[in-house]
Amino acid sequence: MTEAELDGEAATGVRRGPLAGVRVVELGGIGPAPFCGMVLGDLGAEVIRIERPADSGRATPFPVLHRNHRSLAVDLKHADGAELVRRLTDGSDALIEGFRPGVAERLGLGPEDCLARNPRLVYGRMTGWGQDGPLAQDPGHDINYIAVAGALHAIGGADGDPVPPLNLVGDFGGGGMLLALGVVSALLGVRTTGRGQVVDAAMTDGTALLLAMTYGLRAMGMWQDERGVNLLDGGAPFYGTYRCADGGHVAVGAIESQFYAALLQVLDLTGDPLFAAQNDRAAWPRMRARLAEVFAGRGRDEWAALFEGRGACVTPVLSLDEAPGHPHNVARGTYLPGPGGSGHQPAPAPRFHGTPLPEPVPAPRMGADTEAILAGLGVDAAEVAALREKGVLG
């Protein structure tokens, strides 16, 4: 995409991709709701993020999450500001918000307020606990939501404490991504019913959904309710990580028998009786100890070279800075230059052959599109000046 095309998209809000023509209003927040907005924007939707007037002109602290957005600085606590946003949603397809239950209603921007004016609107709500239930009004973060959902207990070593998996499971996998799916599903529903609806996406619900296979295995007696003793939690010696001589690690995922055989062949352990019965759980601790001893004998990249092309499901564990440079990620274009050309950012995904996704438009300064967006609502310069005088606009 040329620089002129990028500038044009940033100025007009016109996007390409499967969601081109869809307008989404995002009420400012952090974490999973902006991630949902980023995903929808990556897929071609016009996403207008509502910022606080006090932040106007500042660079966003989350430049990747706010890519492919336009920015409108409006005081939602002012009656005139809330009315501007309602006017904006009148001509929009979806609204997403990440407030605690009841906050949007108190601002006059709840589902009843917005759907009464635009019955086709999809109203997406992102919370940790959901819109109801005994914890609905309690504060929390990713770690709390995945703890109550059961996921955190299952992650970590057998002899150690639960390990937070960054904030990937609650905030993004079970949160923002689930909300994006819900919004798109509801938008499809509008095509057939002509009516919008509320999407209640809770991180506890989404985390539980991600545990579907784990609970299925548990029901079949194939998963113990303990950490580090199961097939996919590091308990199996052929599915886990091992420290190498240089302090790096390799990831081993040799579950199927043919991959397990290839693993033993590369490690010169094919004839070792300890490894004869792959699924002998009683032998797993000794097998893991032996594999740890072997892997500690060479550096990470040396092992990576030895396993390359051998079909053993063994890969190097790359750092955040290393991953963008891996040949496979380079060939796929999995990472792109970061905002402003520094660092890296993940490329939009998934890929669409019929409606290819353009490179992301960099996040604007907060409030940068205020006048252009309001002009599209028919707000003239005199009204903008009056609203600024009242402190409604940045």
Residue numbers annotated as active site? 141, 171
What Rg do the C-alpha atoms of the chain give, in angstroms?
25
Nearest to 122 by CA among 193, 170, 34: 193
Cα–Cα distance for residue pair 55/154, rounded to 1 Å: 41
Residue 251, number of CB atoms within 10 A of its CB: 14
Nearest to 96 by CA among 37, 155, 42: 37
Backbone torsions φ then ψ of 79, nearest 5 degrees? -55, -40
Angle value at C-alpha 352, between 346 and 356, nearest 5 degrees: 80
DSSP readout, 231-266? TTTT-STTEEEEE-TTS-EEEEE--SHHHHHHHHHH
Cα–Cα distance for residue pair 202/129, rounded to 1 Å: 5
DSSP classification of residue 15: -
CB 227 within 8 A of CB 157: yes
CB 231 within 8 A of CB 218: no
Nearest to 184 by CA among 127, 122, 131: 122
For residue 198, what are the β-bridge partners? 123
| 31, two tokens | 């974490």
Residue 343, number of CB atoms within 10 A of its CB: 14
| 169, two tokens | 């499971």
Single-letter code of the amino acid located at 190? V
In this structure, the chain runs to a length of 394
CB 37 within 8 A of CB 336: no
